[in-house]
């Protein structure tokens, strides 16, 4: 974050959480849960621009740092990720499929803002998505 802030360039943060992921581990086993995590990571990595930085934050959460992103671009990238995950699936050997959705909270960095504050704002937006029914994007103003 510090390099982006020092450059004065606008950037945003996306925080993604796989909806109801516990049901995947409980219903399909942890090995398939790990495969599902990799599917979401691969889908997300292929949905962002080359200059964006995406990674796993922990558990079933992921972060994407989006340089040069104003509100509209941040929302657009988040929606592209959400839609691509929704249309993806993981085929199992027994013929079943695991289909997932993600909720995504987004926040645009404010000049001089600490990283912890930006992450907290994206996290609040994410939980607002969860409370509103999941499988959606909310970009905090």
Q: Is 35 exposed, middle or buried (0-12, 13-18, 19+ CB in 10 A)?
A: middle
Give the chain as a 3 state SS string: CHHHHHHCCCEEEEEEEECCHHHHHHHHCHHHHHHHHHHHHHHHHHHCCCCCEEEEEECCEEEEEEECCCHHHHHHHHHHHHHHHHHCEEECCCCCEEECCEEEEEEECCCCCCHHHHHHHHHHHHHHHHHCCCCCEEEEC
Q: What is the C-alpha separation between 104 and 138, in angstroms, rounded?
A: 6
Question: Which one from 60, 79, 86, 113 is the annotated catalytic residue?
Answer: 60
Indicate if 60 belongs to the active site: yes
State the catalytic residues. 60
């Amino acid at each position: 974050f510090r390099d982006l802030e020092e450059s004065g360039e606008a950037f945003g943060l996306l925080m993604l959480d796989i909806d109801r992921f516990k049901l995947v581990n409980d219903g399909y086993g942890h090995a398939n849960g790990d495969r599902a995590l990799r599917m979401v990571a691969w889908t997300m990595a292929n949905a962002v621009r080359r200059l964006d930085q995406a990674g796993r934050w922990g558990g079933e959460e992921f972060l994407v740092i989006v340089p040069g992103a104003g509100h509209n671009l941040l929302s657009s990238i988040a929606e592209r990720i959400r839609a691509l995950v929704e249309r993806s699936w993981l085929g199992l050997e027994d013929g079943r499929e695991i289909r997932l959705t993600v909720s995504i909270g987004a926040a645009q960095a404010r000049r001089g803002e600490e990283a912890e504050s930006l992450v907290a704002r994206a996290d609040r937006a994410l939980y607002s998505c969860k409370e509103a029914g999941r499988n959606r994007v909310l970009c905090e103003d």
